[in-house]
């Protein structure tokens, strides 16, 4: 079943008198439970592509269809609500709230969703245990290593029970041990919850785990290959 359909997606940035086509007419789709890497050199358009799928960056042309509806036909308020209830984000810079504990960071989006306190606390505990840092639930980000912070970010991304998770260079700031652990964790979460993962990455280790690799260059898909892993 297709979770996301992309039709003729275009993004043009105006840089003075120069127009830059960051994404140039991409058409593709993603199915439930995929573990996909979108790869390409810096400036290829992969992050812009992910941001348009995730409702963070409005396309110049084209459609992002999720559950039969083009999300870019929604109002700004509806897009915010849609992101909150359907999409989990994992960023290169972790983006944790420094004054909140690991548990509070994970719980935050469920609070915004209006989930009952008992449900929020139980799911937070389960997720932090699932990502291997249940004993750090009361630690603030500044007391956690980079790998531990990124694990909190993954737990936070899963907290809202999203249809899919978008991960933009999630391993860029991690050493090889932390990267291996994080990728194994994400692969396990993918299989356990059947959550669709889409990565934008330069990292060969991510590509080696991915079951589908989409190569983008100059805003266009050059190659789209699936692997039996």
**How confident is the model at residue 172, as a pLDDT?**
83
Name, in order, each residue with C-beta under 8 angstroms of 10's C-beta and a sequence gap of 6 or more: 21, 23, 24, 25, 59, 60, 61, 62
Say whether pLDDT at 138 is over 90: yes
- Greater pLDDT, 25 or 170: 25
Does residue 63 have a pLDDT over 70? Answer: yes
Residue 15, pLDDT above cutoff 80: no
pLDDT of 163 reads 85
Q: In whole angstroms, what separates CA 65 from the centre of its chain?
A: 17
Handedness of CA 123, 77, 27, 222 (dihedral sign): negative
- The alpha carbon torsion through 70, 72, 73, 79 (nearest 10 deg) reads 110
Say if 8 falls within a structural domain.
yes
Beta-bridge partner residues of 107: none
pLDDT at 1 over 70: no
Mean pLDDT to the nearest integer, 67-75: 91
Query: Is the residue at 123 inside a domain?
Result: no
Nearest to 157 by CA among 170, 166, 145: 166
Q: In the structure encoding, which two tokens stand for residue 51, read together?
A: 């941001």
41 belongs to a structural domain = yes
- The confidence band for 224, taking pLDDT boundaries of 50, 70 and 90, is very high
pLDDT > 70? residue 141 = yes
Residue 132 lies in a domain: no
Q: Is residue 130 part of a domain?
A: no
pLDDT at 216 over 90: yes
Indicate if the pLDDT at residue 153 is higher than 70.
yes
Q: What is the pLDDT of residues 79-114, one digit of tens each?
A: 999 988 889 998 877 889 999 999 999 999 899 889
Q: Is residue 184 in a domain?
A: yes
In a domain, 128, yes or no: no
- Residue 70 clears pLDDT 70, i.e. is over it: yes
Residue 160 — φ and ψ, nearest 5°? -85, 5
CATH at residue 178: 3.40.50.300
Q: Which residue range is the domain that position 169 belongs to? A: 2-95+146-226
Domain count, the chain: 1
Q: How far apart are CA 66 and CA 72, in angstroms?
A: 10
* Best CA proximity match to 159, nearest among 103, 200, 226: 103
């Amino acid at each position: 079943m297709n979770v996301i359909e992309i039709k003729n997606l275009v993004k043009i940035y105006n840089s003075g008198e120069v127009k830059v086509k960051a994404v140039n007419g991409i058409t593709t789709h993603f199915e439930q439970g995929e573990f996909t890497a979108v790869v390409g050199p810096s400036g290829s358009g992969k992050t812009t592509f992910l941001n348009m799928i995730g409702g963070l960056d409005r396309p110049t042309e084209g459609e992002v269809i999720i559950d039969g509806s083009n999300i870019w036909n929604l109002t700004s308020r509806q897009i915010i609500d849609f992101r909150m209830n359907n999409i989990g984000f994992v960023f290169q810079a972790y983006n944790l709230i420094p004054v909140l504990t690991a548990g509070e960071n994970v719980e935050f989006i469920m609070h915004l969703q209006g989930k009952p306190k008992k449900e929020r606390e139980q799911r937070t505990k389960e997720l932090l245990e699932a990502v291997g840092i249940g004993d750090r639930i009361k630690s603030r980000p500044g007391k956690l290593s980079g790998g531990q912070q990124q694990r909190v970010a993954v737990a936070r991304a899963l907290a809202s029970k999203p249809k899919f998770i978008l991960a933009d260079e999630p391993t860029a700031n991690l050493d090889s041990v932390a990267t291996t652990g994080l990728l194994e964790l994400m692969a396990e979460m993918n299989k356990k919850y059947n959550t669709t993962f889409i990565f934008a990455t330069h990292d060969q280790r991510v590509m080696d785990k991915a079951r589908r690799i989409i190569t983008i260059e100059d805003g266009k898909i050059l190659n789209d290959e699936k692997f039996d892993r």
